[in-house]
Homo-oligomer: A and B are copies of this chain.
Amino acid sequence: MTHPDLTLLRTPPKAPTTLRWTGTALDLLDQTRLPQEVTYRRCEDGEAVREAIVTLQVRGAPAIGLAAAWGLALAMGEKDDLEPNAWRSALEAAADRLRSARPTAVNLAWALAQQLKAIDGAGLSGAPGRALLTETAARLQSEDERVCATLGAYGASVIPDGARILTHCNAGALAVAAWGTATAPMYHMQAEGRPFKVFADETRPVLQGARLTAFELAQAGIDVTLITDSMAAHLMSRGEIDLVIVGTDRVTANGDVVNKIGTLSVAIAAKHFSIPFWVACPLSTYDPATAEGSDVPIEERAPEEVTHLGGQRIAAQAPVRNPAFDVTPAALVTGGIITEAGIARPPVGAALAELTAS
């Protein structure tokens, strides 16, 4: 596979930036206020970053990891004068504190481990140690940007001009440093000046599509139309959707795709109407150690996500099921899986194994 042209992606996307390092502080786009308000929370120490993670002001696994990496640099701000051993202990404690913000987010632990590895590799402490933490955070952020930008270029290469694209949930710029995963091909096509249109599923119960995807695409000047999840099949039946592209939380060895609840429903409808179904994700999401989707436990979340909205009850008193994810079998991924190493075409499980082996 030839490497895609990334020239266009030197321009940042027009969507609001999720994380912004000022040189002395981290500005985080407060996602709890979206879409009503675009406000940034300025974090000047590690505790502020931790609180932003706990309160979901920053969400999306990659964005949480990057926030924590910057947070660790901030947490060491007043500690330049400590002896090397004391500095290293303080670093460990600060990392533990940040890690506890959302213990299940893999990228959070991963980003902090990268920081500790860099420090231990260089054997630094004090002010030079802190400078390295800042450097490493910046490197992780630009790696995330590069991976997403590459996904975008590969993705754009398989989307026809004028395509009407359906997406589900938010695998967007707001979940990462820039570009997003499922949205990266859209930003790439926009930069190329190519025409296309997006339909965003609202994504009940948490409304990531209505609140975040519709928001970031509209802000970026992309032609986006919001629909409820139940309207996707109807639009497909009327010939109004040409392809589907979504992100994913995990791809298993056989190519099954674990993603936000509702993805399976869209994939089945796409198959019914012979509409290509694509997935875009970094290779870090590929989990060859898990055989298939049915091996992945599906988290059931609080019933209030379904029965309440904005503090108001919107449903009758009745038992509720609230699975947060579903499994789209590899056979329904009829387009392919777009990664930074190229595109895995069906059968996607075998193709992913080949891409990562090379």
Q: Which residues of A contact B (CB under 8 A)?
A: 34-36, 199-205, 207, 210-212, 214-215, 217-218, 224-235, 237, 261-262, 264-265, 268-269, 271-272, 298, 306-307, 309-310, 312-323, 326-327
Q: Do B306 and A228 have beta carbons less than 8 Å apart?
A: yes
- Which of B203, B211, B226, B306 is A319 in contact with, Cβ under 8 Å? B226
Kindly provide the distance from the CB of A34 to the nearest chain B CB, expressed in whole angstroms. Answer: 7
Interfacial chain B residues near A234, Cβ < 8 Å: 261, 264-265, 298, 323, 326
A-B contact list, 14 entries, CB within 8 Å: A35-B315, A205-B228, A210-B314, A215-B317, A218-B318, A227-B320, A228-B262, A231-B261, A233-B326, A234-B326, A237-B327, A309-B312, A310-B310, A312-B312
Knowing A320-B226, A326-B237, say if A315 contacts B231 (CB, 8 Å). Answer: no
CB distance from A302 to the nearest CB of B (A): 13
Chain B residues near A217 (CB-CB < 8 A): 318
A-side interface mostly: mixed
* A204-B204, A230-B229, A269-B265 given; A316·B210 CB < 8 A: yes
Of B205, B227, B264, B316, which contacts A237 at CB under 8 A? B264
Q: Provide the residues of chain B in CB contact with A317, threshold 8 Å.
A: 35, 215, 218
A318 touches which of B34, B226, B298 (Cβ 8 Å)? B226
A233, B227: Cα distance in complex, Å: 18
- B310:A314 contact, CB within 8 angstroms: yes
A315 to B218 Cα, complex, angstroms: 12
Could you say which residues of chain B place their CB within 8 Å of the CB of A306? 202, 210, 226-228
Query: Which residue of A203, A212, A265, A310 has the most chain B CB atoms within 10 A of its CB atom?
Result: A265
- 11 more A-B contacts (CB under 8 A) besides A217-B318, A229-B262? A36-B313, A202-B306, A203-B230, A229-B229, A230-B230, A232-B265, A233-B264, A265-B265, A265-B269, A271-B272, A309-B314
CB distance from A182 to the nearest CB of B (A): 16
The distance in angstroms between the C-alpha atoms of A237 and B312, with both chains bound, is 31
For the complex, give the distance between the alpha carbons of A215 and B315 in Å: 8
Partner of A321, one of B211, B235, B298, B315: B235
A201 to chain B: closest residue by CB: B230
Could you say which of A224, A271, A316, A319 has the most chain B C-beta atoms within 10 Å of its C-beta? A316
A210 to B232, CA, bound (A): 20
Residue of B nearest to A225 (CB): B319
